[in-house]
Structures are given as C-alpha cells and as structure tokens.
Structure 1
Amino acid sequence: MTDVKMADVKTEKPKAPISGGVATAIAHDSAAKHVAGSARYVDDLPEPKGLLHLYALQSPHAHARITAMDLDAVRAAPGVAMVVTAADLPAANQIGAVFKDEPLLADGLVHYAGHPVAVVAANSIDQARHAASLAQISYEVLAPILTIADAHQAGSYLEPPQKMARGDASKALKAAAHRLQGQLAVNGQDHFYLEGQVALAIPGEDEDVHITSSTQHPSELQHLVAEVLGVANHAVSVEVRRMGGGFGGKESQPAIFAALAAVVAKHTGRPAKFRLDRDDDMVITGKRHEALITYDVGFDADGRIEGIAFEQFIRCGYAADLSLAVSDRAMFHADNAYFLPHVEITSFRCRTHSVSNTAFRGFGGPQGVIGIERVMDDIAAFLGKDPYAVRCLNLYGGAGRDLTPYHQQVTDNVIGQIMADLADETDYAARRAAVQAFNESHRWQKKGLALTPVKFGISFTATHLNQAGALVHLYADGSVHLNHGGTEMGQGLMTKVAQVVAEEFQIDLSRIKITATHTGKVPNSSATAASSGSDLNGMAAQAAARTIKNRLIDFACEKAGVGRDQVRFEANRVVIGNEEISFDALVREAYFARISLSSTGFYKTPDIHYDRAKHQGRPFYYYAYGAALSEVVIDVLTGESRVLAVDILHDVGRSLNPAVDKGQIEGGFIQGMGWLTTEELVFDADGRLRTHAPSTYKIPAASDRPDHFRISLFDNANKEATIHRSKAVGEPPFMLAISVHSALVDALASLADGPVRPCLDAPATPEAILQAIHQTGLGAVGMKAFAGSLDHG
C-alpha cells in the first residue's frame, strides 16, 4: 500500500473557504425534503409485519369515579389483540415527569374529560375504534374544579403559594405619588404541531423494546417507559430523527403514547403503533397554562415604577407535569426588561380537573411578560403619555438599576440600545403621528402602535438539565458521523450543530452526516427545550470534534517534526509547517497509524445556581434581548383586527446561521400573535374541550402574516462563552408578539377623548375586542358615531 505524502498539495494561492461553516446563512438540512414531502416522520416509516394499532377509550367526565367497566365485548371484537387497563400494566401506572402523580391510565378515578381509561390494540385503527365503541363503563360523576377562580376559592393548589421579592413593595406602594390596580386574563394555547403524537414500539430479545417516537426528550421517554415495563433503562432504546413541530408539547406528553405502545408490544410480541388523530390529540394532551395576573403598582409623575405587587394565578390541571417550573419562570419574567426597585410576586399554582398543562414555547415566560406590559400600557394611559416613553424610562440600566427580583445582576444589558435603534430605524415618532392622524380622520377603523421589549433568561431553571453529550466519528475517508442528544423539530438544530463541527474541522458541511437522536448513542440527555439546544449540544459536539482534531494535530506534529503552533486547519486541508495536506489524506494517514478517530463530547453550563426555597440565585447564564414595533387596525363595529406592519430587532449574539435564526424569529412571532389574537381554547361547563380541531381552533394562516414584516439581527457578540458567542433564539421571539396585543390596546384607547385604560384580555378575538369597547365605556363612543352616520344617510 502506498504511503500518503505529507506534501501532496503545495500552497500557491488562497483557497475558497469551507461551504456551510458557522455564521453562514444556509437552508435547514431537511428543507428540500419538507417541501417535496419526502422527509420521513414516524408515521411514514414502513409498517412492520403484524403491526397493531392503538386507540384510547376516554372519560366523558372531568371528575368521576369508575363504578363498573365491562370490556368483554371489546376484547371479543374482530381484530382485537389486547385491551389494556390500569390493572394490566406490568409495573408502574405512572408517567409523571417530575412527581409521581400522573397515572398512565385512570385507575378508579378520572381527572379530566378525555382521560384515557383503557386502550384497545387491534389489527387496524378502524377495528380498534369500533371495538372501543362497545365498552360499557359506568361513572359516578363528582363535582369538578374547572377554573382558576374555583381552584382559588377551594384552596386547590399543587403546592403552597410561592413568593419572590426584593425590597419592600408594600411600603413603596403606600409612598408612591400614583397607584393603580388592574388585572389581565390570558387563555391557554394548543401546540398544534403539524405532526401529531405518535410512537412505534418494536419488541426485541429478552426485555428489549425499541421505540421510534416524535419526542423532544428521548431520555426521559426511555426512563418512563422502563418504569412502566418494570425493566432497566438499558432495555429501552428511543430514536427520533425529526418531529413535525413540538413547541414543548412533545417534551413530557409523548410518554403516554410510547409507554402504552411498549406495553402492547411486549405483551403480544408484535410491533405496536399509537398515532392520535387531531381531535384526540388536542383533548388528551396538555396546553399552555392559562393565567390570571393581578397587579398593584405605584409610580411617579413621569411613569417610573417605585413599587409593584403581582399575583399570578396559573391553571395547571390535575397533575404537576412541569407546572411548577413553568410557574416559576412566569415569576422570573414578571419584570421583563424593566427594573423594579421594590417588587413582590406571589404565584398560585392552581390544581383543576382538566388536562395537565405542560411546557410551551416560552415555558411560562410569556405569561409573566404580558403582565408587566399591561402595567406599562396602563401607566401610560393614566398619565396621558406615549407608552414607548414610559417603557424606556423603566428599562434596566447601569449600577443601581441592574438587579432582578430573584437577585441576579443583569450584566449584559443591551435593551436600551435595541429599543432606541428600532425606534430610529422605523421612524417611530412619524409613525405615531401618522396613526394619530388616521384615527382622527377615520370613524369605523382605528389604528394602534406599540414598541415593546423582551429580556429572556437562557438556561433550564432546573440546574441539572443544563448538560449535553455528543458523539462524533471521523471515518477513514474524511467523512463525519454526528450524533448528539438534541432533537430536531423543525427549528434547525441539526443544521447548526453540524455547522459547528464543520467549522471545527474546517471541512464542507456536506461531508457531515446528521443522524437520528438515539439513547443508545448519547445517554441521559436533557430535553430539547428552554432555547438551549444549540448552546448545549453545539458545545458538546465541538468538544468531541476538538478531541479528534487534537489527536490529528499531535499525529501531524510527530510525523513532520513541528510544533503545534505550526499546524492549522484551513478549508478542507491542513497546513503543517511550510507544507499542506488534504484533510482526507491526513485522516487516512492517521487511520493507518492507529489514531482514534472517534470521541464523545460533554458540556455543562457554568456559573448558574438557584435556591428555590428562597427564589434567589443566578438561574440564567445570560439574557437574550429584542424589541418589536407592531401596527394594527381594528373595526370598532365588528371587533375584527388585522396586523398591518411589524418591525423586529432581535439579539441572537453572533448568529450561527442567520437564515435559520430569522426563520425562528418570524415563526415565534407569528405563533405568539396567534396566542394573543385568534387561538381560543373553549371548555364547556362540564370541562370538555370544544375547540379541538382546525374548524374551531384558529391558528394564524398565511394571510395573517403582515404585508410589512421586517426582521433585523442586532450585532452583539454574547458576553458569555457560548458556542461561537451566539445566543438562543427559539423562545425569546415569541414574546415580541406582545407588541401586537399592546397595539390593540392602543387602538382601543384612541376611541376616547381622554386617558382611558382599555381592559383587553387575551386572546383578543373580535368578541373580546367588542367586549373591551363596551366594558370600558368606549361602546358609547362607537354607537354615537354610528348613530351620527345614520343621521347623515
């Protein structure tokens, strides 16, 4: 075999840079497959021979005792292989992510309308559905607790009320020149991922089972399924290549369906699939937490807050799920981008007989942020000032105005600059004057304008989750196999992490193979959530690649007799002293020299800590900032509204991929806009969800995207040593959409002759806007104008 020469290529002229390295705006790795429909999801995989299909029998009651359950006809129905009840589970009847208070199947009591009480496994989904209809189940209906008000009155909480405080809010409120009280009700939100919940379980030898799932948290799924089966974690493997959306709804929720599929697979020896249709998915799975926020604020004549007290009532559902952490984050973000000198935040985690609410993009942060933004709008209305001016006056600043309610110092603050830059770039003053002129000359339509900030803490607030692992194989031909604990749900994580590895080796991105997340390759991974996917997995993958790279450098130094400082990796080649060699050739030589070309990598976020008992510490490694200017118009007679224009300036640090980041900003904003304007969860008096399909639950359509939608990235390297000094981008942009809600409030305020505080809850549906008009006394203004128009023909 011919030995490869070190000097197989001479350096003669500058070479082109690598294709697809860090900071390159390139498409999502599966973008073409998404458009062509060739991207394979769990339900697209070839169905194995003997596959069983699962269907859940659901409780029609929110709170009831099962008094009798006759399933003989179900078991005898054509095609039925197995019926699973709580009594049939091999080990634990629990899939609680944090606390063991969430039964996999109802056992004696049902806790929400839609609660699965049994599962049918049959040769086809139609046979399973038919068999389920034959069940004879009797219930003793019990009085349910369904609303926040019901829970608060009954003292029904997941834990005692929590309090976060700094300073003396009570004293500051009494001493303030002005004082206001108010409240805001914020509805929940369904995740409405395009790919519904689905899991495929295939039994293996001994106790083994392999699960392909649409999940954001493969390791947690592995652990929970193992508990249900009564086996060790190593007997369960979980794999996920991609999800058709997750948004937090596939963090803890997939465990229900994977566990039941695994139980059937192990009991029958046949593969089993549990795929929900849209209606069942929306009924059975948890949502964004509904919230009621009350405030008492004291401020001076300019609008500067001197003291404030919040009460946050969070509707959690029947079990804990992730609600305690979600509620904590709502407290963390009650300040948003504003310094509150004296503050008290009290949180009530309300237990209700409804589906257990769960993680959703922002993880409680949006509920906290919108509360303080309502305060800013109300202060401005009371004083007759521009809300933008009041917001700027209260922003975090330098020494003495840089401490959060949980006692973390804000050391990377750029929000004032972002707000000022966006106001200048959009000519805010002229836009404000134009809106006022429009409102003065239009009777039936009113415009509103709002420029709002976002400061969002980045890290899991459960400190132990801030860790990640990766696995990199460098093959003898110079190609790379990349695996890590993060999951791809359309956000571009796989692309970004691959770019990090390409940058480290200085090779083209096309030479890196992105592979499915697998618990057998990277164990004990954290959920892909909290906007931490690139931060954690990027650093872990870089560590793995760097280990291999250092081995190659040591090998090159030994062979060429040069120092490490004389070896550098450039585009698809390695310069060694005065000579260079192709990357492929060096890798081949290293292979023949028996150099290890495989490595794991690990990363844990430094410098974070939190004392939950005191609600103090440094839970966040850094903050991501942004601002949005939204312009809206409402019809005062119908309550209909439309977003006319949006301008965003957002801080992503040094972007790993500007194209992907801008896509995340736009998608997050539109999803937030849906939460605040059209997406309405409606439950009837018996606790049954009535908006459980696209026909009744309205997410934003393409036509709802404003014609003017401009997104700019704020040039700001992360102060902390994150991966290439980038910043998280998944969740923070969601809260930029609060500018839409504030703009609608601004439009309503224009109906009155003097200062008025419109009470507009969320979502701001046409009905809610009309209600706000009439409840605030503005209805008379509209009706007077309407009567006047009739008088004039």
Structure 2
Amino acid sequence: MNDRLIPPAAEARTSPSASASACGTSIPHESARAQVQGLAPYVDDLPEPRGTLHAAPVMSPVAHGRLNGVDASAALAMPGVRAVVLAADIPGDPVLASFSHDEPVLAQGTVQFAGQVVALVVADSVMAARHAARAVKLDITPLPALLTIEDAMAANSFVLPPVTVARGDAAAALAAAPHRLKGHFAVGGQEHFYLEGQIALAVPQEQGQWRVVSSTQHPGEVQHWVAHALGIANHAVVVECRRMGGGFGGKETQAGHLAVWAALAAHKVGAPVKLRLDRDDDFMITGKRHPFAYDYEVGFDDSGRIQGLTIDMMANCGWSADLSGPVADRAVFHVDNAYFLQDVVIRSHRCRTHTQSHTAYRGFGGPQGVIAIETLLGDIARALGKDALAVRTANLYGPRGATERNVTPYQMQVEDNILHELLPKLELLAHYQRRLEGVLAWNRQHKHIKRGLAITPVKFGISFTATLFNQAGALVHVYTDGSVQVNHGGTEMGQGLNTKVAQVVADELGVPLARVLVTASATDKVPNASATAASSGTDLNGKAAQAAARTVRGQLADFVAALDGCAPEAVRFADGQITSPQAVRDFTAVVQQAYAARIQLWSDGFYRTPKIHYDKVTLTGRPFFYFAYGAACSEVAIDTRTGEYRVLGVDILHDVGRSINPAIDIGQIEGGFVQGMGWLTTEELVWTDKGLLATKAPSTYKIPTAADVPARLNVHLWPEENREDTVFRSKAVGEPPFMLAISVWEALREAIAAARADRGLAGAAAAAVQMDAPATAERVLWAVNAP
C-alpha cells in the first residue's frame, strides 16, 4: 500500500499544462469564473418568453382539516390577476405520479399540513400574484392533527408498513451480556436551505408540446410528473436544467411539484408561467430531512464490544410517502456504520404525521442510521470508563481479507474495510493521544469551560438502493474543428459533476480540457435518466460519457489504422494528437479527414452498475457497489454556565479513491462536514402545537456561517484507488463526508460528561448524557444539569 497521504496542498490545486492528464488534477469548477462574475444564469436569470405570467401558491393555514370551499373572488378582482387554478383545472391525473401515488397535486377534500398548496394565483407580476394569493379565502374545518412521532406511534399512523432486519438471537445475547444499557433519544430534521429556491418555468409549445425549465435533480421525473398531470405523453414534454444553486436532495422529487404547478397554470391561461417560491413559502411547503427517534437496548462485554442490540428507529415521514421508504431503508442499512453486529434486531417505523412530507437530504437516511450506533458506542465507552476510540476500534468490521466479522446484518460482505489502517493514521495525524491527555488535564483544571475530543469513522454504501436507478446514458459529439460536446443525464448543482465528466472525456480522447464542453441536462437528449443523487452522479454519468467517448475514439483509431496499415490498438490519443507507429497527426486534422471519409464522429454511451442485487422485501443482498470510508477527529469546548460552545479544531482523513479532481473532492468534504455539523448543532426545526412551522426564515433557522467553521479544519485524502472498476478508480464524495460531523456531536457529549463529573456525579449518572440533536446551547445546558 502506498503510505503517502494526499494533502490539500497548494500545489495540488494548480491547473494542468496542455500536455497533462486532466483527471487527477485540481482543475477549477467549469462554471467558477462565470459564477464569481455573476454570469452563470439560473432559472430566474433566463430571459422570459413574451407574455410570461407569474404564479404564487395559496397555502393551508391549518395542519389538518376538511376543505369546504375556496373563495377567490377578492383575488380575481385585484389588478393584474389573470386566473386562479384549482384541482378541478387539472386535465390529467389529480394525484402526482409519485411512486406511492398518494399525494394530490392540489389539495381537495382535506388539507394535510400547514403549508399544503390548495390553489395557485396567476398574475402579471410576481408581487401581484403573491399579494393576491393571500387574498384567497379558504373555508376549512379543523380536524385533529398528529404532529409528532409519539403521536403517530400511539395512533398507529404510518405511510408504509414497518420493516425488520434481524440476525442471530438478540434476546439471548442481551440476556447473556455482562453489561446492558437502554434508552431513548431523537434527532431533528434539517431544512435544505439551497441558495436558489424552488423554481420552474413552463412554456407551451406548438401542437400540444411543452418546454419546462426546472431547478431539479431529476429532469426525467419532472417530465413524467408534468405529462401525467397534463394528461399527455412523456415525449411531448422536454425538461431542461443547466445548473442549480444547490439541491442537497431537496430538488430530487419536490422540484417536480413546482414544475407541475407552473405547467397547470400555463395550461389554464395559455401562456408561459414562472413559479418561484419565496423563502418563507419554500420553508412551509417543502419537506425536510426526516426527524428520527430511537429506542434501544444494547448488551456489551468488558471491552465494550457489542454482544446484542435491539433498536427501533421511528422516522417522521410527514403526511405522504414521498421517498420515505428508501430513506428509512438506508437508515437500516447504515445503523451498523463501521461495526459488526452479530445478534441484532433493527425495526424501522415509517410514521405519518400532519407536517410537510419529508424527503431526500444529503445522506438519504444514512446519517440517521449512523448517529444511532455512534451514540450507543459513546454511551458504552463512558459507562465502562474507557476511551471511546478504543471501544469503536474493538467493534469494527474485520480488516481487509478477513473471513470473520465481515458480513452486514443485511447479508452484504464488507470486502475492503480500510478503517483498521485509516483510523490509526488519523490518530497520528491529529495527535489524538497527546490531545486527549491535554483535554483531560484541562478539564481537571477548569471549572466552567470543559473540552471534549472524539474520533468517529464512516462506512457509507454507494449506489441507489432502488437497483433500477443505477444506470446512466450520455452523448459525445466531436465537431470538425476538433471541439467536443458532452451531454449526460446528470445535473450540476455546484458539486462539480460537469467538471469531472469533462475531465474524463478529455483524457479519453486525448484532447485539452478546454476543447470539451458539457451542456445542459435535457430529457430530449438523454431519456429516462436517474436522479443526480445517492452520491452516484460521477460514478454513473462519468462511466456513460467515458463509454461514448471510447466509441468515438475507437472509430477514429480504426480510421487511422487503415491509413497507416497498423492495428487500431497501436494508435494513441494524447496531447491533442493522434499517434500511430507511422505518423503523428493533429487531432483536428484527423477529425476533418474522418468526416470527409464519412466516419461517425458522435456516439451514445450507457452504463449500468455491476454486482448489485437487493431484495426489497427482506432488505437483504448487495445493495451497494462499494463502500466509501473516512474518519474525523473533532475537539470542542463548552461553557457549562450557558451551554454555548465552539468547535476548536477538526482533522479529517477521507477515502475518495483515486481522485478525479482533488480540489473539488476536498471542497465536498469540507462542505459536507460543515453541513452535517449544522444538522447536529444549530439547525433546529420547531413546529407549534397547531402544526405551524415556526422556524421558516434565516432569522429563526440557523445554518452554519463562516464564523462557525473551525479555525483549524485539516482535510487529507486517503491515497488508494477504488478496488472496484469505477471511473478513474474514484469513489463517490457527495454524501459520506456529511457523517464525519458526528465527531462533533460525540465530542460535545464527552465535554458534557466531564461537566457532569465535576458536579459530583459518579458512575452511571456521570457517564449518562441524555441529549437530543441538534445540540443547541439550550440542550447542552440542560444535559449538563440533568439529574
């Protein structure tokens, strides 16, 4: 194994020369310069077609009620108002074409959460539409509402049936274990807070056709939903997305609502319609990360190794299924995280409440699974008075090559566990043992400020758990001037997907990166494309684009081989030249010759992820192509008088395989970590007892700012390539780093435990840290002073 770590050094961020390979180099994001200059257009920046009108939603003010009627007379009398759209105006199916088919396009009969869209107002301007929407009067008779997980569990209210995964005999293992703990805790949801809010522009075209510009992670689904609501065939709808100003999962399904509403409004008025939610309405209408609650009992030995575990995971899914099934499934798949669980019962409950329908969010249920086992291991370590890192290490899956302790509860083999090597390396990089001694010494000497230090690992499965989505298509066009255009089914939301795909295609054809242009995702280019989600954007679309480029390269190689009387395998593509044993030719010259000889200069490419299989009934099989690994060491300080705290420093060692673009990967790691830190510390969603979301603006909902980023945030990349045949032998990087922030959560709990010991508490009382996430200052203060 190459023992060299790849640091975030300045020399790793330079652009390559024209003769260098594009892959493996920190090339700037393809839109970076335009974005800095304000020249990268988003949906709301595009020139509006002549006659474009604007829509605004009319939302339910109650969480659950009988919808008796809608009085739009006052709104229709206002200046500039053209129409009000109701469920009766839907020409196709009034229920969205979602997987569960359980969500009406517009409310009718009942309303199911405060913020549900009942109608749309269409007007000449954005503000006219919004003012008029507030003038629409809804006649609603309130009904009892279920607002919490506890309410739903008591009422047996579920969007989907519960799921259980079990192995061994957990009850017997618990009975025989030398030590046992049981408890309950909860983690909150999280608002996506993308910089570009939800938006869509629907434009009627000739002969019943439609063009929809959408800020979406899934153009294919938007196409299907719009066609379904309009009662027309998919081929009559073209959906386009050049870029998003962030998505994080919030635009996987829920961008479809905006597109459908805009299209229905445009259908009624016969003109283009744009619908852009303001931030407050976006908060009220769209789903969040699923809040979870946990009941657990764990048995363990004197070393802290888990002997038996039963855990109930209860997900607040909101009022409809949306993606709650696969989100909850992935939480089940990740409750083991990096640890072998021999005797275990995992029960997953998908609770229905009268709140926003919760949806995909970075990690897609994985974080809610991982935090459960990490919290338990922290509790075990404190109960035994042991270093938590030692307890975590004792519970790891077996190392690479092991034949024992290497099978997950869902029956997938862990073949490439590098954590036995990665964790000790991070321990040295972060000076963990020295700093731990310093933390203990500090806590002995200081009464009011307590410190905590923790290392937590991540093992994250890469692939869609719904196997059918693990496919992608792409087009590569080579023009006679030697330039190259690429189109693929993925969407760019700032994560650098288009940059990486361009790097792959440039190297495949042996041309400078500047010659390669990746164009907007569109359903009339690559059909039936999967969502850009599950961290699989580069894995899937990069491979598809590579396949298309290889076909074009092969056709050019055959052409040159015929000219020079050599084997096609002897023809090389590099540095903008095509070289055979007989001659060196300019790439553009060969392309022009090939065109004159009627050689095809474009191709499609397709990729399907190999090896994966999965029984969605039993939740067993190999749902993931491979695992991405990583670990983080975080140090915090808390003020025991106020509950305020700071993250003092973070060291990360993360596995991205053979990095296509180290700078982009490091940026994803940093961003994912900080976003995960926000979920666990400051981002608190609060609903009133009437079901109204009270935290619906930046004034009340606190995402991390630059001031929250620790002054020392060191990121290192693990130096090995992916053992599986991914594009450039890279690994996915979008979601796995999010869970590295659990090290902050555990460091906070260590600091709280130190404060509790200072209060004179001893043994189990001092070790017990009862706290829900997010760990706001109030919750930290409460945990310090809890009985």
User: TM class, shorter-chain normalised?
Assistant: over 0.9
Deviates most, 264-273 or 704-713: 264-273
Structure 1 Cα separation of the partners of residues 391 and 627 of structure 2: 22
TM-score, L = length of structure 2 = 0.96
Whole-Å separation in 2 of the counterparts to 1:147 and 1:747: 30
1:343 deviates by 1.1
Over 3 Å counting, the alpha-carbon distance change for 1:576 and 1:291 in structure 2 is: same
Q: Among residues 481, 491, 498, which one is paired with 1:477 in the alignment? A: 481
Q: Is the 8 A contact 2:97 2:228 kept in 1?
A: no
**Matching residue of 1:160:** 161
Q: Whole-Å Cα distance in 2 between the matches of residues 427 and 260 of structure 1?
A: 55
Secondary structure of 1:500's aligned partner: helix
Partner of 2:416: 412
Separation in 2, partners of 1:547, 1:288 = 41
Which residue in the other structure is 1:645 paired with? 649
- Residue 125 of structure 1 deviates from its aligned partner by 1.6
1:250-269 equivalences in 2 (<5 Å): 250-269=251-270
Q: Corresponding residue for 2:440? A: 436
Amino acid at match of 1:728: A
Residue of structure 2 in register with 1:69 after alignment: 70
1:733 equivalent in structure 2: 737
Q: What whole-Å deviation, never above 9, does each CA across 1:310-350 have from its counterpart, x for those lacking one? A: 11000001100000000000000000000111111000000
Asked if the contact 1:62–1:111 (Cα under 8 Å) also holds between the matched residues in 2, the reply is yes
Which whole-Å CA distance do the structure 1 matches of 2:38 and 2:713 have between them? 27
Instruction: Supply the AA of the counterpart residue of 1:373.
Output: E
CA displacement at 1:72 relative to structure 2 = 2.4
Residue equivalent to 1:624 = 628
What is aligned with 1:594? 598
Q: Which residue of 2 aligns with 1:579?
A: 583
Q: 1:774 aligns with which of 758, 762, 785?
A: 785
Q: Distance in 1 between matches of 2:136 and 2:463?
A: 47
1:341 and 2:342 aligned: yes
Alpha-carbon distance in 1 for matches of 2:17, 2:193: 43
Give 1:717's aligned residue.
Answer: 721
Whether the 8 Å contact between 2:464 and 2:534 is mirrored in structure 1 is yes
* CA distance in structure 2 between the partners assigned to 1:477 and 1:196 by the alignment: 39
Give CA-to-partner distance per residue, 1:152-172, whole Å, 9 cap, x none.
000001222110111111111
When the two chains are superposed, the root-mean-square deviation of aligned CA atoms in Å is: 1.1
Q: Distance in 1 between matches of 2:205 and 2:461?
A: 43
The 2-side partners of 1:64 and 1:566 are apart by 73
- Name the counterpart of 1:468: 472
667-676 or 198-207, larger mean C-alpha shift: 198-207
Instruction: Name the residue aligned to 1:363.
Output: 364
User: In the alignment, is the contact (CA less than 8 A) between 1:16 and 1:571 conserved in 2?
Assistant: no
Give 2:10's aligned residue.
none
* CA apart distance, 1:34: 2.0
> Of the candidates 513, 532, 541, which is equivalent to residue 545 of structure 2?
541
Q: Any idea what the Cα deviations from partners look like across 1:216-268, whole Å, max 9, x if unmatched? A: 00000000000000000011100001000000000000111111111122232
Structure 2 counterpart of 1:7: none
d(CA) in 1 for partners of 2:291, 2:71: 36
**Cα offset, 1:16, TM superposition:** 6.3
Match of 1:5 in 2: none
Does the Cα contact within 8 Å between 2:668 and 2:733 map onto a contact in 1?
Answer: yes
Q: 1:766, 1:311 → 2: CA distance? A: 28
Q: Which runs of 5+ in 1 are unaligned?
A: 1-14, 778-793
Determine the C-alpha separation between the residues in 1 that align with 2:185 and 2:622: 29
Show the 5 A alignment for 1:201-350.
Answer: 201-350=202-351
User: What code does the residue aligned with 2:321 have?
Assistant: A
685-694 or 35-44, which moves further after superposition?
Answer: 35-44
- Matched with 2:4 is none
Contact 1:632 1:642 in 2 (8 A): yes
* 1:35 to partner: Cα distance: 1.7
Task: Specify the code of the residue in structure 2 equivalent to 1:290.
Answer: P
Deviation at 1:20, TM superposition (A): 6.1
Is the contact made by 2:76 and 2:84 (CA closer than 8 Å) also made in structure 1?
A: yes
Q: Which residue of 1 aligns with 2:140?
A: 139
The answer (yes or no) to whether the contact 2:60–2:138 under 8 Å persists in 1 is no
Deviations 1:359-394 (A, max 9, x none): 000000000000000111010011000001100110
After TM superposition, give the deviation of residue 437 of structure 1 in Å: 1.1
Report what 2:682 is aligned to.
Answer: 678
Please report how far the alpha carbon of residue 565 of structure 1 lies from its aligned counterpart in structure 2 after TM superposition: 2.9
| CA distance in 2 between partners of 1:168 and 1:237 (Å) | 53
Letter in 2 for 1:125: V
* Cα distance in structure 2, aligned partners of 1:363 and 1:83: 36
Q: Distance between the aligned counterparts of 2:542 and 2:690, measured in 1?
A: 47
Aligned to 1:28: 29
Q: TM-score, normalised by structure 1?
A: 0.95
Q: Higher mean Cα deviation, 750-759 or 254-263?
A: 750-759
Q: Deviations over 1:392-414 (max 9, x none)?
A: 11011122110101000001111
Deviation of the 1:136 alpha carbon: 2.4
For residue 158 of structure 1, give the secondary structure of its aligned residue in structure 2: strand
Q: Which residue of 2 aligns with 1:175?
A: 176
- How far apart are the structure 1 equivalents of 2:574 and 2:680? 49
CA distance in 2, matches of 1:505, 1:614: 45
The answer as to whether partners of 1:606 and 1:621 remain within 8 angstroms in 2 is yes
SS where residue 213 of structure 2 aligns?
strand
Distance 2:783 2:510 in 1: 58
Does the aligned pair in 1 maintain the 2:474–2:604 contact within 8 Å?
A: yes
1:96–1:103 CA contact under 8 A, matched in 2: no
The answer on 1:760 being equivalent to 2:771 is yes
Q: Give the match's secondary structure for 1:56.
A: strand
Instruction: Give the corresponding residue for 1:662.
Output: 666
Task: Give, as a single letter, the amino acid of the residue that structure 2 aligns with 1:442.
Answer: H
State the distance in 2 between where 1:732 and 1:706 align: 20
Q: Which amino acid aligns with 1:41?
A: Y
Q: Which runs of 5+ in 2 are unaligned?
A: 1-15
Name the residue aligned to 1:10: none
For the residues of structure 2 that align with 1:83 and 1:267, how far apart are their CA atoms? 9
Given residue 142 of structure 1, which amino acid in structure 2 is its aligned partner?
Answer: L
Give the ranges of 4+ consecutive aligned residues of structure 1 lying more than 3 Å apart after TM superposition.
Answer: 15-20, 752-755
Choose from 598, 604, 607 the match for 1:603.
607
Distance 1:354 1:744 in 2: 30
Letter in structure 2 aligned against 1:43: D
Q: 1:208–1:235: 8 Å Cα contact kept in structure 2?
A: yes
The reply to whether residue 746 of structure 1 matches residue 750 of structure 2 is yes
Amino acid at match of 2:590: L
The answer as to whether partners of 2:467 and 2:613 remain within 8 angstroms in 1 is yes
Alignment partner of 1:551 out of 555, 560, 575:
555
User: In structure 2, what is the equivalent of residue 351 of structure 1?
Assistant: 352
Match of 2:395 in 1: 394
SS at match of 2:599: coil
Query: How far does the alpha carbon of each residue in 1:499-540 deviate from its partner, in whole angstroms, 9 at most, with x for none?
Result: 000110111110011210010100000000000000000000
Displacement of 1:17 after TM fit?
5.6
Name the SS of the counterpart of 1:55 in structure 2.
strand
Q: Deviations over 1:669-691 (max 9, x none)?
A: 00000000000000000110010
Q: Give the match for residue 112 of structure 2.
A: 111
Q: Which amino acid aligns with 2:676?
A: G
Amino acid in structure 1 at the alignment position of 2:683? E
Partner of 2:375: 374
CA distance in 1, matches of 2:129, 2:91: 22
3-state SS, counterpart of residue 546 of structure 1: helix
- C-alpha displacement of 1:439: 1.1
Is the Cα contact below 8 Å between 2:756 and 2:784 reproduced in 1?
no
Q: How many residues are treated as equivalent by the alignment?
A: 762
Work out which of the residue numbers 497, 506, 531 in structure 1 matches 2:535.
531
Query: Within 2, Cα distance between the matches of 1:468 and 1:68?
Result: 45
- 8 Å CA contact 2:249–2:359 kept in 1: the answer is yes
SS at match of 1:703: helix
Matched letter for residue 710 of structure 1: N
